[in-house]
Amino acid sequence: MSILEIYNKDIFYNYQEGKNLLDILQDSGEIIESPCGGKGYCGKCKVQIFKGNLDKPTEEELKHLSKKEIGKGIRLSCFVYPKGDICVKLLYEEEKNYKALSDGYIPEIELNPIIHKEVITLEKPTLENNISYEEVLKKSIGRKLYYDNTEFLKALANVYREEKATLVYYEDKLIGIEAGDTKEKLYGAAVDIGTTTVVVSLIDLNIGKEIATETSINPQKEYGLDVLSRIDFVKRKRNGLYLLQKVIVDCINSLLENLCNKNDIDIQNIYEVSVGANATMMHLLLGIGTNTIGKSPYATVFSKEKNLWAKSIGLEISQFGRLYCLSGVSSFIGADIVAGAIVANLKHTKDNVFFIDIGTNGEMILSKEGKLASCSCAAGPALEGANISCGMRAAEGAIEGIQFNEEGVALQVIGDAEPVGICGSGILEAIAELNKKELIKKSGRLKRKEDLEREGRHVLAEHIMEEDKKRKIIICKKGDEIISITQEDIRQVQLAKGAISSGFYSLIDFMGMDIDDIDSIVIAGQFGRHLKTSSLTGVGIIPESLNDRINYIGNSSKTGAVMCLLSKDVRKEMEDLAKDIEYFELSTKEGYEKLFTKCLTFG
């Protein structure tokens, strides 16, 4: 066995040679960013190596490292196969003030939660009438007891001294009993598990009020940025499924604890957690294998709603707590999208409404006067700032707005801090600006410095840089450090744009409609709300003719989870709605590849 030393944590691990450094670090429990899941193409899993017997960097690894980095001993951990003792420094940085959307439009609904309480007066057994407390309780409520868990009996053993007790019901099923009158303490939690972010809201079920919300980066991102890389991680790693379930459950528990501490609420008074998520995230939450989702015919193990005991996956809420997983349609249209359909009222509208959740997966539903069809396209993570050379999430220091003019480049930075990278909304606005100011051609090709000088645009020409026959435009520069948009970055956005746009046109065609028939476009999701209308139409994701029909509803997945907590009627409606959404597979459309290629170009 050899020794791995983590220099900046003063920790030592024993490791077996033969694995790459990324695997060794992850097996040791260290968190290291690896958006591509260790496949060698994201360039994010950098570490600084001070000591060790290593092979020289390969040509592929050198594509992601500068000469300055190599001189400092910085390597990509997925390429390094150490031999003997090694000392490394982890280079991750904690993201500050992460900017995640936690709110959204909530339709008016009648308060009718499935969890409710009843206060009763307890009779007492006597020597003459020496019956069980279970029988005493049965007489007190005047009806048969119906429960199916030992937690109820454990709780019953603790209330015998009290004159009053509070019964906890899940619909008509008795699930718990508490000493005294706790009727006013009735809370639930709505959770949106996104591929990138996790949002948890604390809900007062007595009055239907959202008390507070906490957000976090999805910790699974360290093992793969998108669903495919996480599915691959589960397949490759012996304990991969356990690990991905553990980190997401721990994340939810931590957010719940923070919410309760900040609002002086006992976490044991949370009785239900409702969850909206895509199919892969839902499977990982429940610890269910994802292999079937990752290969043809891409079938889920389950897609409909699930009612479970919260403790079955380790959620640290009430001992009687329940877990409700919202209903989805398929591996491509998950519960998060069905929740959005409920929030946008797609089933009951008399208009033609196009619902789009813009993100890694690009799910969409078209409602033709209440008739619903859906599709999903692999937009990839570029629109969220990933797979971009200087990309980052929407945290402090991220450039979220970019304007090009004849004086140069004007920036809008989150937190008014020094810029350190470009987030998703920033990269999309930048490409829209490049297109508008004709700094790129319709093919997406950046113009040469000589081209701009010939056009008399000398200031902007100075921002064009060519290195090793690779062109990029410099956004800002500080000393040796530059933030730029490369030709490959533009290509990544093109691919995302082509995927979403081709899905948009295909679904309209599938429903026998024209673009002008669309009355409204609803943009949903954590990321979508931060996108400007001018960016969406400027790159051609949405036709410019529909510019004034674009509306935003925010985080509809979390909103749907809130609605399910507050109303069992909404819950039933969502379960029924999932059955009414028809799924259209884009790859089966005749001429789809030609349409996709056409959608890659900028207008």
**Is residue 519's pLDDT more than 90?**
yes
CA 430 to chain centre: 23
pLDDT of res. 92: 62
pLDDT of res. 458: 92
**Is residue 112's pLDDT more than 50?**
yes
**Is residue 508's pLDDT more than 60?**
yes
pLDDT of res. 103: 57
Q: With cut-offs at 50, 70 and 90, classify the pLDDT of residue 30.
A: confident
* Ranges assigned E (strand) in 433-548: 464-467, 470-478, 481-486, 520-524
pLDDT of res. 96: 45
Please name the residue that has the structure tokens 């009055």: 207
The predicted-structure confidence for 222-236, as pLDDT tens digits, reads as follows 898 889 899 999 999
Q: Strand, coil or helix: what is 253?
A: helix
pLDDT of res. 117: 96
> Using an 8 Å Cβ cutoff, are 105 and 528 in contact?
no
Q: Which residues make Cβ contacts (< 8 Å) with residue 511, sequence separation at least 6?
A: 366, 368, 371, 373
**Is residue 104's pLDDT more than 70?**
no
Q: Of 481, 461, 460, nearest to 402 (Cα)? A: 460
The predicted-structure confidence for 464-493, as pLDDT tens digits, reads as follows 998 878 899 999 988 778 999 999 999 999
Which tokens go with 169?
């019901």
**Is residue 283's pLDDT more than 50?**
yes
> Using an 8 Å Cβ cutoff, are 144 and 173 in contact?
no
**Is residue 99's pLDDT more than 60?**
no
The predicted-structure confidence for 379-396, as pLDDT tens digits, reads as follows 877 777 777 889 887 888
Beta bridge mates, 217: 197
**Is residue 526's pLDDT more than 80?**
no
Q: Identify the burial level of 184 via C-beta atoms within 10 angstroms of its C-beta, where 0-12 means exposed, 13-18 middle and 19 or more buried.
A: exposed
The predicted-structure confidence for 543-594, as pLDDT tens digits, reads as follows 999 999 999 998 999 999 999 999 999 999 999 999 999 999 998 999 999 9
Q: Identify the burial level of 301 via C-beta atoms within 10 angstroms of its C-beta, where 0-12 means exposed, 13-18 middle and 19 or more buried.
A: middle
**Is residue 201's pLDDT more than 90?**
yes
**Is residue 100's pLDDT more than 60?**
no
Q: Of 495, 497, 499, nearest to 587 (Cα)? A: 499
**Is residue 287's pLDDT more than 90?**
yes
Q: With cut-offs at 50, 70 and 90, classify the pLDDT of residue 93.
A: low
Q: Strand, coil or helix: what is 90?
A: strand
The rounded distance, in Å, linking the Cα atoms of 292 and 196 is: 22
The verdict on pTM exceeding 0.85 is no
Q: Of 586, 395, 573, nearest to 509 (Cα)? A: 586
pLDDT of res. 478: 80
Among 142-151, 191-200, 303-312, 536-545, name the one with the lowest average pLDDT: 142-151
- Helix, strand, coil shares of the chain, percent, nearest 5, are 35, 25, 40
Helices (H) and strands (E) in the chain, counts: 17, 26
pLDDT of res. 527: 76
Q: All domains of the chain, ordered by start, with CATH?
A: 2-90 (3.10.20.30), 115-179 (3.10.20.880), 187-325 (3.30.420.480), 347-381+493-599 (3.30.420.40), 394-482 (no CATH)
Mean pLDDT of the chain: 90
AA letter at 341 = A
CA 33 to chain centre: 16
Among 119-133, 426-440, 467-481, 546-560, name the one with the lowest average pLDDT: 119-133
Identify the top-confidence range among 29-33, 90-94, 264-268. 264-268
Residue 38 CA: distances (Å) to CA of 29, 79, 229, 247, 266: 16, 9, 9, 18, 41
Among 147-156, 209-218, 246-255, 371-380, name the one with the lowest average pLDDT: 147-156
Sequence-ordered alpha helix ranges (H) in 263-320: 279-286
pLDDT of res. 140: 78
pLDDT of res. 501: 96
H/E element holding 251?
helix 240-262
pLDDT of res. 143: 73
Q: Within 10 A of 146 (CB to CB), how many other CB atoms are there?
A: 10
**Is residue 105's pLDDT more than 70?**
no
pLDDT of res. 102: 46
Beta bridge mates, 174: 169
Which one is predicted more confidently, 245 or 137?
Answer: 245
Q: Provide mean pLDDT across the span 433-448.
A: 94
Q: Which residues make Cβ contacts (< 8 Å) with residue 150, sequence separation at least 6?
A: none
pLDDT of res. 435: 95
Q: With cut-offs at 50, 70 and 90, classify the pLDDT of residue 97.
A: very low
**Is residue 406's pLDDT more than 90?**
no
Beta strand pairing call for 398-405 and 421-422? parallel
